[in-house]
Structure 1
Amino acid sequence: MVLSQNTIKSQALSEESLKVVDAFNALNTDEKLALLYYVYKKMGDSITPAAPTATDPQLAPKLLGDYYELDSDRQLAIMREIVNREDTEYSRAYGTLKQNNQLMVWFAWAQAMGDTVVDMPGDYQATQPINDALGQIEKLDFEGQISVLRTVAENMGYTDIQPIPSQAETGKTPSL
């Protein structure tokens, strides 16, 4: 099975964090995008310093360069492709990034919304599931929030790289 079709749930997540990931996964595409927007608008200042030295914007030139030159409709379509894990050029570019760089992409896009990135419609009203998920995220401590966001970010984008089977799956120990 291809990794891009799997839902990844980190073993490091607490029960509360897993519930938030499940709540996020239950949202439709546009609700997921709205929730990410609200998370970064409400908590962006605390999320950014999570791993500033662990990110490298130069690893994502297509997502943090070319993307800004596109019109709003195309930008929104690309965000949807990434959330839906579609096999597209931009979704593949996102899928090759590590979690911290994936978070950096969403943060950069949220910061540029309304300027060089498509903005939320002015009359947008968050649904109750979005508000509920946002409330759950806000109740988590900083580490829980980052863990949820890393898991959510990792569950987006397309890659055809398959995970290495675990010892439990193969019954064999790794060898050099």
Structure 2
Amino acid sequence: MTYTTSNTANELLQAFQGLDADQQLALFYFIYKETGKSITPAAPAASTVSPEIAQGLFDQVAQLSQEEQLQLQRDLIAHKNTELTREYGALSDTTKLLFWYFLAEGMDSGSIIPMPSNYKLSNEAQQLFGKIQGLEFQQQITLFRDFVSPMGVDSTVS
């Protein structure tokens, strides 16, 4: 699925992808914490979402040790070829977004490795966070899809 993006959105996407994996994960979690109340109804209700599929992948991740859970998230960002990153790669963009929402919810509930309580975003990530907060809701959702879409491994591409 293709989305129309502006230069601003492209710049924000490039800035996000320019962060190291742990900063990307942290920023995405802070975004969830800040905007989760507005994203919550959007992700599960989106017409192309497959909640059962996102839940199934989440359930597999929840069964891993905390170290393996964190490594999987890093592997998704790094496009490391594993069974779970290929399963993720086969999801629609909106289902991928829902999967990340489930991960954030799992972090809050304790079923997924939590963010360290004293974790601080880098200056670059903090500035990017501020720019994202200034976007309209639909622009944020589109940008978040753009964040999660290329993660994982697309097994149909060699």
Cα deviation per residue 1:14-33 (whole Å; 9 max; x = unaligned)? Answer: 22111110110110010100
RMSD: 1.9
Q: CA deviation at 1:53?
A: 4.2
Task: State the match for 1:78 in structure 2.
Answer: 72
Select which of 125, 129, 138 maps to 2:133.
138
Matches within 5 A, 1:8-157: 12-51=4-43, 52-54=45-47, 55-60=49-54, 62-114=56-108, 115-157=110-152
d(CA) in 1 for partners of 2:42, 2:157: 28
Q: Which consecutive residues of structure 2, in runs of 5 or more, have no partner in the other structure? A: none
Aligned AA for 1:95? Answer: G
Could you tell me whether the CA contact under 8 Å between 1:72 and 1:118 is conserved in 2?
Answer: yes
- Number of aligned positions between the proteins: 155
Against the structure 1 CA distance between its residues 70 and 162, is the aligned structure 2 distance closer, same or farther, given a 3 Å change threshold? closer
Against the structure 1 CA distance between its residues 66 and 13, is the aligned structure 2 distance closer, same or farther, given a 3 Å change threshold? same
Could you tell me whether the CA contact under 8 Å between 2:75 and 2:85 is conserved in 1?
Answer: yes
Identity across aligned pairs (percent)?
Answer: 31
| Runs of 4+ deviating beyond 4 Å | none
**Max radius of gyration: which structure?**
1
d(CA) in 2 for partners of 1:89, 1:11: 27
d(CA) in 2 for partners of 1:109, 1:46: 17
Give the structure with the larger helix fraction. 2
